[in-house]
Structure 1
Amino acid sequence: MYGIRPCTIPPIDTGTDATFEYSIIANLLLVVACVGCSRWLLVPWLVMYLLNTILLLCLAIGMFVVPLPILHQNMNNTIEYQMLRCLGFIPLMLAAAVAYFWLVIRSLFIEMGKGEKTEGDICCPIKMKTGVQIIGGVLSILSGVLLVLYFAKLDSLISAKYQQSFGKEMSRAQLTLIAGSILLAVMVNILLILGGTGKKWRRALLLPWLLFYGAGIILCLILHLYYTSLCWREEKIIGMVCLGSGFLFLVIWSLVWIVAAEMGDKQKTLISRPNPLGFQRL
């Protein structure tokens, strides 16, 4: 389209792939939210499809201004060439349909907020604190196994892949940094188990986990944008893996954040409501 070859302008490829992949994740969250989980899972869908609507409107305006060059250059001044501007109605109608769906989901978000209940959880029968402790245990085991595999074989595989991609060998400091990051992951996962017991003073143990995995999520998203901008299929797949990993840990990070926030809530009331029976006894 418009004589642009694939992979010649990385921002166009990156924007197209990222929009498509983020839309898939937003649709998955929409399905989970409609099952009966938190209404806040609808927020990514609302944000993503608002951006999609804006992009479709910009595409429609661009096709109205500059018609698609699918005819011969000698026909640029003919009525057939001017009729090609009507193709801009296709993204315009799609934008109108997406905008209607966006209003429907927004109404659902508001309705779910009115009838939201704090007690109980439809998505999971166990308590959230128990679930966070289970997640911490699983992550501790996985990170420990990953640390053993790294010293056994993964360090050489990572070095070979790095040399193939960038044309130079990894330094010893970089390999040590990776090993230290895995060891730090083991430690923060253990702190997650201890901090999820429900004691208010132990919520400070959740802070290292939130900071460490928050930085990891940001790194996954940056790597996704980098690998998506490349043209090779292998890099595209690596970018999708980074996005999926970032999305999965973002959900887990949100659960841990909610648990930490609930542990910090004060249940005591500073001023008690007067009892009418107390005045009758006087």
Structure 2
Amino acid sequence: MKWCTYERDGEVAIGIVEGTNVYDVSNQLHTNALLEVIAREFEPDVDLDVAPRYPLESVKLLAPYRPLKNVICIGKNYEEHVKEMDTAGAGKLVIFTKAPTSVVGPDAVVERHPELTDQLDYEGELAVIIGKSGRDIEHVEEHIFGYTVLNDITARDVQKQHVQFFRGKSFDTFCPIGPYVVTPDELSFPLTIETTVNGELRQAGTTADMIRPIEELIRTLSKGMTLEAGDIIATGTPAGVGHGMKPPVYLQTGDTVEVSISGIGSLRNIIV
């Protein structure tokens, strides 16, 4: 299934997207919060034949949901990205987090924060949605609800000011996600990841290039630490970020950034 959260006539609802239509399943699920559905930890039972249907173009897509905890992020998980940045942490599993308050949805604006940074950058990533809580996870596929698109917006200069990446990654609007959460049965791996800035292709990668694949990431992260239903794991970004260009090219007011992942969709945001 392809899940979304949308707004129509001032009302927020959970939708399932098929083709060019979205089906309102909020009443069947007795909630308009997708996080609540995921947290139930069982496969939702919905009947699209009796669900209200609307043209997708007639609704406003929102962030699928905002997690309760920080978004878990994996750094330097693509070899070419390691090369374009620096060698610090190369070969090691780099883990950091983004504040849940940084989450916004498709077509939402990303704040430039010029008083705080002049090195604003993008990182297109595949994000995994945990659907079943667990610790020391072995059977990874049983714990995945779905996948979505994530843009790990980063203030590079602020990132360098601190030992941990948290602040430079967590300003408000620095974590666009969406437009959909797609269940694993609808995806065929490897997935392609592309990022454009004002229509110019900057990143073009595939999940087959991950240094540590998704299964290994989840097994490692869950060792001694419980992953809960609704947790989001951003799995790293391919080469082509602005900071890695020579000379570096950072995002400016008015820029449009679009991250597309095959089988999921495109996440577009404008810098203001």
TM-score, length basis structure 2: 0.27
TM-score, length basis structure 1: 0.26
- Write 1 or 2 for the structure with the bigger share of helix: 1
Instruction: Indicate the structure (1 or 2) with the bigger Cα radius of gyration.
Output: 1
Q: Which has the higher contact order (CA 8 A, sep 6+)?
A: 2
